């Protein structure tokens, strides 16, 4: 696995500095003790309330520094990657944040953290500080282990203790609530990869079609190898493990945690799977999905549940300073809004006849159908050789519906042709021509003469399509033709279209349209521009004095 | 690459449902048009303000649905993964959200999005809606391309337009501000991997030691292959590319975007590298780092910069409903707080003499040093064979400093021994014994008699260490010994310690301490418990009636 870092020995301090300079800017500070003492603390802390301190090894970001702020942690102590912080670092955090109200340490159940936070607590007590510690052991991966790991469920304890401290509760009641909460939390993780540590050789123990259930957050192997199945099946396995640990008469908050590299798209899909599983019955509040307690780049997620009561629900739902905390959301029926019907169509769009217009449309369509092979052949030199087929398809679709067109209303006719091309022609050119006719129709209905209306259509087509004259597209013929038509009539338009189409043969660099990536002179005309010239020639011939 | 999903054809709708049921719960709704129409919109929208609609292919989460909410988007239209939404879907979003104030479409510069949003805009106009469109083309990967891609800088436009709409500006001024903003945005991406699509075969075109500069957000190849270097060097290359595009007299906001699977730890490190690079001079505000516009699981990031003026700074800094938007933070000097000195040590801790205590300490230490080999040998049967060396190291470190101990003060002596063992002994046992002596000292200073104080130390040691009697640790000897000492004196303590140590030989399952993972009966005593018994025997012999 490849990583973005500079030197192994400064990864954590560089990351903390980056965090403090961005997300933490304006609200957080750090202790001046690098590299040994890596403590992030609230810049606005006045020690009048209970200090809430947590931490542990790095590699779990945004845990723990990301949760420092009003209503959550007072300080976070970071070790190196996956290594407990030193006793001195924890002690420095306690000294820096603890006043008469005392300090609660929230520690995940790993030996190193227990011992280092524990010794720091005892030393702090010897210095006269009131310090309590709560140990969180929420992982249910190993059902009969005496010392379950502490994983992402620890965040519930941060949130509850932080809220109670912020609300002015004393150390004894904050600690009691935190301990009671810790007892009511269960978590389970699943992953499709192990995590890799920047600068260390990594061997993934996973196969191409498997995953592990019951992982910790330090790359340690999961408890069970499982086959890679559909997300809903994996979630069902997890739901079953949880079922034995949940009180069927209680409501729970669910925290959905990205362990590292699961794309946000998939995390939302996982959330949907969880809320469609048997677990959903128990869940009243959700937190996440998102990155809350990661294991570097592990391609996995964890679910954590805490039994709710009114106090916990209030604590979990209270707003906090740290943006990394994801707001608790009530589980509700989704709001699904009916799709509005289109505004009623112009009455003139009902079928009507006009023999002259019908002849014109028929002639244009037949001309384009007749060009299928020549256009394909031109296109094959530069593109995928289907311009003629696309154009012919569009022309046939209009011709097929010619007897349903509102021919007596030119605006409605243009609009309907736009609708037909937008749905039946296919490709970018179908949409572009649909835009052209739709916008031209709108302009015509607004009172513009035909020439102006067609130029308005061109304007919209080039705005959305991005092609300009010189880009070797149909615009090279269409723009001069429409300008000439508006100014001088059909004959001039046909001549201008022809000149424009011929000019495309000399164009070196195609900047838009299907030939956009050729970048060399082709010495043949652009097929779209050629088709435009042919159409104008045909129409001019129809209206030419006999 | 392995992915969490169910069926390919429902990935996007399942993810949108999961999003709506979690992050979007209570504030967002969707249109009833699955699978074709995938539109998320504000549930509280009353059409009195300008509707701000964006969208594009899926795979960029939290873009775009994640940014729907007060102060940002009114609706987001999603296509399938990396595929533009249909004209009908965009049109449905316009119809559902647009009132007399009109609608602004914000579109990233990809042909499919331009055309489908464009045709929808023209159709909506034909239906009587006032619709404007702004196209964002912020990518500077290809400096001379006529149609740069739209990437994460598009979010600046969402934020600015959303803020102006929320503040009650009319369509013309919202659109004008959005277009002006779009012209002042530059973005560049870098990655160490391509992204993989759930359910599609994936071939990574990257080698083990390279990356690409100038990537889009759809897995298309980057413009340049680059060597995998230190993060600061990669950032320096990007800073150089930006330099040519920035006005040296302007201030910029910087958006740091995780393209997918970069661990949050590394994203913060990257942020630090950027703010330590030549780019930093230009940056007054930062947004991120975080997942803002991803490309599935791409292991890369992008930087986007927008030239600031007072209006843009106000717009970017305004609070919004969507949590996925990361608050803009001012670039400031980091706040570094001096580490507090330890509270002044007990005066009695200055060196003092007591011949009896000194003899006792010396005897215990010498006893433990003499046990180095037997303890190592016992430990080798279950662990790594170094218990004796660790214990001897601790004993030597105390012995070495015996003439500096405050021997006349028993509490201070215990505390100092705790300090020595915590720093010099090493291993878990050093910290555990440090906790034991530190807590016992504190209890003794509080007025407890020696027996009670030692039991208080034991209580703390077992709380932090997690071992109980029966777990095959030194606690099996220490706990009965200290209880017997408190109740009946030294001789009883020595006998109890011996019985406790002997009992460990029969213990089947070790639950804590160094033998925790053996899980079978060893038929030999735990070395820690054996050492405790030996110490109590030695001390009892010293005080035995001659």
Token couple for A405: 């067109």
Is residue A201 less than 8 Å (CB to CB) from chain B?
no
The CB density around residue A209, as the number of other CB atoms within 10 Å, is 10
3-state SS string over B380-419?
HCCCCCCHHHHHHHHHHHHHHCHHHCECCCHHHHHHHHHH
- In sequence order, the 6+-apart residues with CB closer than 8 A to the CB of B516 are A147, B510
B404: helix, strand or coil: helix
**Tens digit of each residue's pLDDT (9 = 90 or more) over A341-364:** 876 555 446 889 999 999 999 999
| pLDDT given for residue A340 in this prediction | 84
Report the distance separating Cα B155 and Cα B106, nearest Å: 10
Question: In 3-state terms, what secondary structure has residue B221?
Answer: coil
Read off the tokens for B450: 């020696």
Output DSSP code: residue A279.
G
Q: How far apart are CA A362 and CA A355, in angstroms?
A: 10
Angle, CA of A21, A24 and A28, to the nearest 5° = 110
Contact check, Cβ <8 Å, A193/B299: no
Q: Is the pLDDT of residue A511 over 60?
A: no
Beta strand B224-227 pairing with B210-213 = antiparallel
Q: Which residues does residue A303 pair with via DSSP β-bridges, in sequence order?
A: A188, A256
Which of A202-206, A500-504, B393-397 has the lowest average pLDDT?
Answer: A202-206
Yes or no: say if A89 and A12 are a contact pair by the CB < 8 Å rule: no
Is cis: bond before B447, omega within 30 of 0?
Answer: no
pLDDT at A516 over 50: no
For residue B107, give Cα distances in angstroms to B28, B133, B157, B287, B519.
21, 7, 10, 21, 62
Instruction: Return d(Cα B516, Cα A111) in angstroms, integer.
Output: 11
Per the listing, tokens 């990351």 go with A15
ipTM of the complex: 0.94
* Residue A218 known to be catalytic: yes
Q: What is the pLDDT of residues A88-99, one digit of tens each?
A: 999 999 999 999
Contact predicate A193/A299, CB 8 Å: yes
Burial class of residue B333 (count of CB atoms within 10 Å of its CB; 0-12, 13-18, 19+):
exposed
B420 touches chain A (CB under 8 A): no
Instruction: Give the residue numbers of B annotated as catalytic, written as ranges.
Output: 218
Taking CB atoms and an 8 Å cutoff, what residues of chain B touch A264?
61-62, 66, 291, 294
CATH superfamily of B349-542: DhaL domain (1.25.40.340)
**DSSP designation for B56:** E
- Residues in chain A with CB shorter than 8 Å from the CB of B418 are 122
CA–chain centroid gap for A420, Å, is: 34
Nearest to B116 by CA among B34, B13, B37: B37
CA distance B256 to chain A (A): 10
Query: How far apart are the C-alpha atoms of B421 and B430, rounded to whole Å?
Result: 5
- How does DSSP classify residue A280? G
Question: Which of B18, B197, B336 would you mutate first to test chain A, the one with the most A CBs within 10 A?
Answer: B18
A25 vs B422: CB contact, 8 Å cut-off? no
Alpha-carbon gap, residue B95 to B170, rounded angstroms:
18
- Contact (Cβ atoms closer than 8 angstroms) between residue B140 and residue B187: yes
Domains A8-197+209-330 and A349-542 fall in the same CATH topology: no
Nearest to B33 by CA among B103, B93, B115: B93
A interface test, pick of B263, B343, B383 with most A CB neighbours within 10 Å: B263
Distance, in Å, from the CA atom of B286 to the CA atom of B305, rounded to the nearest integer, reads: 9
Q: How confident is the model at residue A382 (pLDDT cuts 50, 70, 90)?
A: confident
Residues in chain B: 546
Mean pLDDT for the stretch of residues A182-202: 95
Q: What is the pLDDT of residue B518?
A: 47
What integer is the mean pLDDT of A123-150? 92
pLDDT for res B528? 94
pLDDT-derived band of residue A381, with 50, 70 and 90 as boundaries?
confident
**Quick one: tokens of A74?**
């007072």
Q: Confirm if A28 and A40 have CB atoms less than 8 A apart.
A: yes
* CA-based nearest residue to A275, from B24, B322, B79, B75: B24
User: What is the rounded distance in angstroms from the CA atom of residue A94 to the CA atom of residue A124?
Assistant: 7
Tokens of B106: 């914000």
A316 in Cβ contact with A159 (< 8 Å): yes
Q: Judge contact between A244 and B275, C-beta under 8 A.
A: no
Predicted TM-score (pTM) above 0.90: yes
Question: For B282-324, where are the E strands, in sequence order?
Answer: 283-290, 300-307
3-state secondary structure B111-165: HHHHHHHHHHHHHHHHCCCCEEEEEECCECCCCCCCCCCCCCCHHHHHHHHHHHH
Do the beta carbons of residue A131 and residue A146 sit within 8 Å? no
Tell me the two tokens of residue A192: 């499709």
**Per-residue model confidence as pLDDT tens digits over A456-485:** 999 999 999 999 999 999 999 999 999 999
CA angle (B190 as vertex; B238, B83 as ends), nearest 5:
130
CA A350-A352-A353 angle, to 5 degrees, is: 160
Could you tell me the fold of the domain covering B8-197+209-330?
Answer: Rossmann fold (3.40.50)
Strands A335-337 and A131-136, how do they pair? unpaired
Contact A326 B326 (CB under 8 A): no
**How much of chain A is helix, strand and coil, in % rounded to 5?**
45, 15, 40
Per-residue tokens: B427 = 């291993």
Name every residue whose Cβ is closer than 8 Å to that of residue B239 and which is 6 or more positions away in sequence.
B274, B277, B278, B279
Outline where DSSP puts E strands in A338-387: none
Whole-angstrom Cα distance, residue A39 to residue A37?
6
Q: How many CB atoms lie within 10 A of CB A281?
A: 12
Do A90 and A34 contact (CB within 8 A), yes or no?
no
How do the domains of chain A map onto residue ranges? Answer: 8-197+209-330, 349-542
Please name the residues between 104 and 163 in chain A that touch chain B, using a CB distance below 8 Å.
109, 111-112, 114-119, 121-123, 125-128, 133, 146-147
How many other β-carbons are positioned within 10 Å of the β-carbon of residue A183? 12
Cite the DSSP H helix spans in A167-220.
Answer: 171-183
Q: What element of type H or E holds B315?
A: helix B310-317
Residue A25 to residue B511, Cβ atoms within 8 A: no
Q: Is the separation of the CB atoms in A117 and A107 below 8 Å? A: yes
Q: A260 — phi, psi (to 5°)?
A: 165, -80
Task: Please name which of B439, B514, B544, B525 lies closest in space to residue B482, comparing C-alpha atoms.
Answer: B439
Peptide bond into A48 cis (omega under 30): no
Give the CA distances from residue A257 to residues A295, B74, B261, in Å, rounded to whole numbers and listed in that order.
Answer: 11, 28, 14
d(CA B393, CA B373): 12
Based on the number of CB atoms within 10 Å of its own CB, is B448 exposed (0-12), middle (13-18) or buried (19 or more)?
middle
Q: How far apart are CA B256 and CA B267, in angstroms?
A: 8
Query: Among A60, A64, A218, A291, which one carries the catalytic annotation?
Result: A218
How close, in Å, is residue B303 to chain A by CA atoms? 14
What per-residue confidence (pLDDT) applies to A142? 85
Contact state of A115 with B431 under an 8 Å Cβ cutoff: yes
Write out pLDDT tens, residues A97-106: 999 999 999 9
Is residue A253 predicted with pLDDT exceeding 70?
Answer: yes
CA A445 → CA A407, A441, A449, A450, distances in Å? 14, 6, 9, 10
Task: Flag if A271 and B19 touch (Cβ within 8 Å).
Answer: yes
Mean pLDDT on A64-68: 98
Q: Do B491 and B536 meet the contact criterion of CB atoms below 8 Å apart?
A: no
- Kindly report, residue by residue over A24-58, the tens digit of the pLDDT: 999 999 999 999 999 999 999 999 999 999 999 99
CA dist., res. B472 & res. A146, Å (int): 13
Stated as kind and residue range, the H or E segment containing A226 is strand A224-227
Give, for all 546 residues of chain B, the pLDDT tens digit.
Answer: 899 999 999 999 999 999 999 999 999 999 999 999 999 999 999 999 999 999 999 999 999 999 999 999 999 999 999 999 999 999 999 999 999 999 999 999 999 999 999 999 999 999 999 999 999 999 999 877 778 999 999 999 999 999 999 999 999 999 999 999 999 999 999 999 999 999 998 888 898 899 999 988 998 889 999 999 999 999 999 999 999 999 999 999 999 999 999 999 999 999 999 999 999 999 999 999 999 999 999 999 999 999 999 999 999 999 999 999 999 999 998 999 999 887 655 544 688 999 999 999 999 999 999 999 999 999 888 778 889 999 999 999 999 999 999 999 999 999 999 999 998 888 888 999 999 999 999 999 999 999 999 999 999 999 999 999 999 999 999 999 999 999 999 999 999 999 999 999 988 655 554 444 445 566 889 999 999 999 999 999 999 887
The Cα diameter of chain B in Å comes to 113
A273-320 tens-digit pLDDT: 999 999 999 999 999 999 999 999 999 999 999 999 999 999 999 999
Structure-block tokens of residue A372: 């299928």
Matching residue, tokens 């521009």: A529
Q: In whole angstroms, what is the distance from residue A448 CA to residue A534 CA?
A: 26
Q: Provide CB contacts within 8 A for A229, sequence distance 6+.
A: none
For residue A14, give the nearest of B15, B269, B301 by CB distance: B269
pLDDT recorded at residue A345: 54
Nearest CA among B369, B356, B359 for reference residue B397: B369
């Amino acid at each position: 696995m490849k990583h973005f870092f500079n030197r192994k020995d400064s990864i954590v301090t560089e990351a903390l500095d980056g965090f403090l300079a961005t997300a933490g800017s304006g609200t957080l500070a750090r202790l001046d003790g690098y590299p040994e003492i890596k403590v992030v603390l609230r810049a606005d802390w006045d020690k009048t309330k209970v200090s809430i301190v947590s931490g542990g090894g790095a590699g779990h970001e945004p845990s723990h520094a990301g949760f420092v702020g009003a209503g959550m942690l007072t300080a976070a102590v970071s070790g190196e990657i996956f290594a407990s912080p030193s006793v001195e670092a924890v002690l420095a955090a306690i000294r820096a944040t603890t006043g008469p109200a005392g300090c609660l340490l929230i520690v995940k159940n790993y030996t190193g953290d227990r011992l280092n936070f524990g010794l720091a607590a005892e030393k702090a007590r010897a210095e006269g500080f009131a310090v309590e510690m709560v140990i969180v052991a929420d992982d249910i991966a190993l059902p009969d282990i005496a010392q379950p790991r502490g994983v992402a469920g620890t965040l519930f304890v941060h949130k509850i203790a932080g809220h109670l401290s912020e609300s002015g509760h004393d150390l004894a009641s904050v600690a009691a609530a935190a301990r009671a909460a810790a007892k009511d939390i269960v978590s389970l993780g699943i992953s499709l990869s192990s995590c890799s540590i920047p600068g260390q050789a990594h061997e993934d123990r996973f196969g191409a079609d498997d995953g592990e259930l019951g992982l910790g957050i330090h790359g340690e192997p999961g408890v069970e190898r499982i086959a890679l199945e559909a997300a809903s099946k994996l979630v069902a396995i997890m739901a079953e493990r949880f079922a034995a640990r949940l009180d069927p008469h209680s409501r729970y908050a669910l925290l959905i945690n990205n362990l590292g590299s699961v794309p946000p798209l998939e995390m939302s899909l996982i959330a949907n799977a969880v809320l469609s599983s048997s677990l959903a019955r128990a869940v009243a509040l959700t937190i996440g999905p998102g990155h809350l307690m990661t294991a570097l780049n592990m391609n996995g997620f964890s679910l954590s549940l805490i039994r709710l009561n009114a106090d916990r629900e209030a604590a979990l739902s209270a707003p906090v300073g740290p943006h990394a905390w994801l707001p608790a959301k009530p589980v509700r029926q989704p709001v699904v809004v009916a799709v509005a019907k289109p505004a009623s169509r112009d009455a003139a769009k009902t079928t009507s006849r006009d023999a002259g217009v019908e002849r014109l449309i028929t002639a244009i369509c037949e001309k384009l159908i007749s060009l299928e092979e020549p256009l394909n052949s031109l296109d094959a030199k530069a593109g995928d050789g289907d311009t003629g087929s696309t154009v012919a398809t569009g022309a046939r679709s209009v011709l097929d519906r010619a007897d349903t067109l509102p021919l007596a209303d030119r605006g409605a006719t243009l609009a309907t042709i736009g609708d037909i091309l937008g749905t039946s022609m296919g490709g970018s050119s179908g949409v572009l021509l649909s835009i052209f006719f739709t916008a031209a129709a709108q302009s015509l209905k607004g009172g513009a003469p035909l020439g102006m209306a067609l130029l308005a259509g061109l304007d919209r087509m080039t705005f959305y399509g991005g092609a300009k004259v010189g880009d070797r597209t149909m615009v090279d013929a269409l723009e001069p033709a429409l300008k000439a038509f508006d100014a001088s009539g059909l004959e001039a338009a046909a001549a201008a279209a022809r000149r424009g189409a011929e000019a495309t043969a000399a164009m070196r660099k195609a900047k838009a349209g299907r030939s956009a990536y050729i970048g060399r002179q082709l010495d043949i005309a652009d097929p779209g521009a050629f088709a435009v010239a042919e159409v104008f020639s045909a129409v001019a011939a129809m209206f030419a004095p006999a």
